[in-house]
Amino acid sequence: MIETKNLTRKFGELTAVDSVSLRVEDGEVFGFLGPNGAGKTTTVRMLCCLISKTSGEARIGDYEIGNAADSLKIRKIIGLVPDNVGLYDTLSAYDNLDFYGKLYDCTEAQRKENIERFLKMLGLWEKKDVAAGTFSKGMKQKLAIARSLIHDPQILFMDEPTANLDPESSRTVRDFILDLKKEKRTIFLNTHNLDEAQRICDKIAILNTKLMAIGTTEELERSVSGRKTVIQLEQLSDAILAALKKLPVGNVAVDGNKLTIDVANPEKENAAIVEAIIRAGGHVQSVTVVGSSLEDAYLKLVREAK
């Protein structure tokens, strides 16, 4: 579990992270969205005990960020994929991972097992003896991900893991994150890739120095404006309109034989709407849900912060 309360970091007169309060549950993939300069990387560096906080509170599990006695303990239970991979170019992929495994006091058997496992999962096993300096950017990023997991941490921080990668490499990394999710690892994902966040995150926070919003994709979409259900009928009748007026739904707009209905939760309300139409003798040709997207919510919240 990761929790912060009014976490703040200042660099002189500049406030990079301003009173951020959030909670990430065990086994959750948590997306941290925001534009460049929003404070995402600074937040991760504080949580990983790489830089100090200016004020506020933060905890990783039972350990407190800012407590010198807890800092080393936190580093042992987390993994970090930084925005800069920082590999040893002259060492092979295998030797890079073996070196970092030794730093974490992993046994030889643990290192051997984890190196083979993660290199195979990321499609790098055949390149294990090749110098990392010869790798493409995508291959280096995959190797950095394997490095972050060499000591088998349950909490993983990933800072823009698919930035500047080609589509194939990006997909491999996303699939790998989903595999880690199945293992119930907690993943804190920094990204400005909305599609990526929507595909893999259980919960998303939008940051622009301050925390603008937090919730599931659906909750963030609904925060911008309500959703609508569009129903195309074979033939609209007064009986259908009378039946819909008895339901606890929003405004019903009529356009020929098409109905547009304001709904708060279409997943729950649409079944009752369709049932009422059928009972009133209507024939439904199609049902479509329209509304705000995650992109709409993101842009609105980021612009409000300016």
1-48, pLDDT tens digit by residue?
A: 999 999 999 999 999 999 999 999 999 999 999 988 899 999 999 999
- What span, in angstroms and rounded, lies between the C-alpha atoms of 243 and 60? 53
101-120, pLDDT tens digit by residue?
A: 999 999 999 999 999 999 99
- What span, in angstroms and rounded, lies between the C-alpha atoms of 52 and 158? 19
CB 197 within 8 A of CB 225: no
Residues in the chain: 306
Same fold? 2-218, 226-290: no
Residue type, 78: I
- 226-290: which CATH architecture? 2-Layer Sandwich (3.30)
User: How high is the pLDDT of residue 282?
Assistant: 94
pTM equals 0.79
Domain ranges of the chain: 2-218, 226-290
Q: What is the 3-state secondary structure (H, E, C) of 47-86?
A: HCCCCCCCEEEEEECCEECCCHHHHHHHHHHEEEECCCCC
CATH homologous superfamily for 2-218? P-loop containing nucleotide triphosphate hydrolases (3.40.50.300)
